Amino acid sequence: MSSFQFQVIGTVESPYKQKFAIPRQPGLIAEARGKLVLVPPYAEDDIVRGIEAFSHLWLVFVFHETASKGWSPLVRPPRLGGNTRKGVFATRATFRPNPIGLSVVKLERVYRHKSNLVLELSGIDLLDGTPILDIKPYLPYADALPEAGGGFADSAPQTSMAVSFSQQASTFCQAQTLYPELAVLIEKVLKQDPRPSYKKQRDAEQHYGMTLYHFNIKWTVNGDHNHVTEIAQLP
């Protein structure tokens, strides 16, 4: 057997509506909360019996947004400034022979919503609509290896960018009672400096935009300073 077919067991509802600005690994932004919605026939209470005893889960998912774009044996990891090539299997790149991703996320709670079963998660690095293939509990005794070497990504990326908010952006965030962590989420996303490597070398002020939840966020970058200029609700 050289090829297999798998069923999607559920999909993720995420604040990240486009690839740009998603952190490169899970756990970097605790305020990135999402929901894994299990659909029938995988929405049975029995299928998750005992899962709440685990604080973290491994999610096996499909890089659905980029899957059709194929892969190449060498990739340029952003961590290396985008200039050095590494073998695809020496990286966590999205463009892989089988476009399968693996993320460890925090399980906040499990609840039922009509015929669906919902796993509320935090610390996610997943695009909205990501199809999930499997869930496995994170086992600290087997999965946490303090002696492990991390190659060219031995520690979490630096988050040294400063972030400020305009009066409008700040007032907008304070008014979002349903999203009390919006300002912190924006701040932590921008601190990661989501710009592509080649733009980080530029001196002139740069203008960017992203969508988190249903909010359009605009900001400028000047040196190592991000300034959130405007936030608007999408129609």
Q: Which residues bind ligand SAM (CB under 6 A)?
A: 19, 22, 24-26, 63-66, 92, 94, 101-103, 125-127, 130
Q: Which is nearer to ligand SAM, 88 or 163 (CB)?
A: 88
Amino acid 37 reads V
Q: Which is nearer to ligand SAM, 82 or 166 (CB)?
A: 82
CB of 60 to ligand SAM, least distance (A): 9
Q: Which is nearer to ligand SAM, 130 or 226 (CB)?
A: 130
Neighbours of 125 (CB within 10 A): 23
Q: Which is nearer to ligand SAM, 66 or 229 (CB)?
A: 66
Residue from 155, 13, 150, 22 nearest 90 by CA: 150
The answer to whether the beta carbons of residues 226 and 190 sit under 8 Å apart is yes
CB of 192 to ligand SAM, least distance (A): 9
CB of 24 to ligand SAM, least distance (A): 5
CB of 179 to ligand SAM, least distance (A): 21
CB of 231 to ligand SAM, least distance (A): 21
Name the pairing type of β-strands 116-122 and 131-137.
unpaired
Q: Which is nearer to ligand SAM, 64 or 85 (CB)?
A: 64
CB of 27 to ligand SAM, least distance (A): 9
Render the chain in DSSP notation, one character per residue.
Answer: ---------EEEE-SB-SSTT--SSTTS-TT-EEEEEE-TTS--GGGGTTGGG-SEEEEEEE-TTTGGG---SEE--GGGTT-S-EEGGGS--S--SS-EEEEEEEEEEEEEETTEEEEEEES----TTPEEEEEEE--HHHH--TT---GGG-SPPP---EEEE-HHHHHHHHT-TT-TTHHHHHHHHHHT--S-HHHHT--S-EEEEEEETTEEEEEEEETTEEEEEEEEE--
Q: Which is nearer to ligand SAM, 8 or 48 (CB)?
A: 8
CB of 196 to ligand SAM, least distance (A): 11
Token output for 158: 């630096």
Q: Which is nearer to ligand SAM, 126 or 183 (CB)?
A: 126
